[in-house]
Structure formats: C-alpha cells, structure tokens
Amino acid sequence: MTKAIKLLTALPQAQRERLMDLAHEVSFPEDTRIFEAGGTADRFWVIRSGAVNLDQEVTSRKRVTVASLGAGDLLGWSWLFPPYTWDFGAVAFSQVRAYEYDAAAVLALSVEDPLLGLSLVRTVAEILASRLEVTRGKLLDAYVGRRPA
C-alpha cells in the first residue's frame, strides 16, 4: 500500500511557513463543484477538513470518481504544468475547509526561493506518483481481480 503524502507536512518547516504566508482560508458547501476538467488551473488547495472527489466525465450524463481526497491532501496540481488546465473535475463530497493558494503567487515565490520551488515540485511529483500507484492498483483489482497481498 502506498503512503499518502501530505504537501504541507512534507515540506521543510521554513518553506512550509513561507508557503503558509500565501494561504487564505476558504470553504465549500457539500456538493459544490470546485473546478471542472478543462478549466483554467490558476490555484490549488490543501484540504483542512472534509472530503473532495475527483471525477472524470465519461459521457455527457455520467461521471466516474477517480480519487477521493481528505484532510491534508493537495487538491489541484495542474497549475504547475502547461497547459495549466484541470485534468479532472472536483466536487465537495462534504463540507470542505481548505487553504487556497494563488498559483501565480506561489510560482513567483518559487522563483524568489529556488529551494522552496524545488521542494514544492518534488513533493507534488511524489504526490502524483503515489496517486498513480493507487490508481494502478485499483485498475488491477477491477480488471484482473484481487491481487495477492
């Protein structure tokens, strides 16, 4: 089983504090669509409480949940990579409280503090790799049957 990586706790304390200086608190009521696939990715969130489902539209009337995120999880990574559009949609599964970050401000801070920028990119890459491994396991379970432990 792959360990979930939490963005804020994975960063060294000094870098975490600099990033937290850019955060502002937001909340989303249950069933709120936070972003839609294809939209402009100009921000990201770290979930403080609640749950968010990432989904993919497979037909005009059907969405499939591809991941569920909770407290401490990074919501949104598309702001870091061209073409800066969301790959999935996101909806609040319950009341959500989160820290919201403006991508342009974080990227500017990353240029100003290259060590923070490198740490941030590495941590996001680790999060993505972890999520990919979880998804791979789910696909194997769904299409090949239960894998041996």
80: Cα separation from own chain's centroid: 11
pTM of the model: 0.87
Helix segments in the chain, DSSP class H: 7-10, 13-20, 103-112, 114-144
Residue 28 CA to residue 68 CA, distance in Å, equals 16
Per the listing, tokens 């989160």 go with 98
Angle between helices 114-144 and 13-20 (to 10 degrees): 90
CATH of domain 7-140: 2.60.120.10
CA Rg value for the chain = 16
Domain boundaries, the chain: 7-140
Which whole-number Å values give the CA distances from 107 to 88, 113, 117, 142, in the listed order? Answer: 22, 10, 8, 38
pLDDT at 135: 76
Residue 46 CB neighbours (<10 A): 22
Q: Write the pLDDT tens digit of every residue in 28-71.
A: 999 999 999 999 999 999 999 999 999 988 888 888 888 899 99
Positions of the chain with pLDDT lower than 50, given as ranges: 1-2
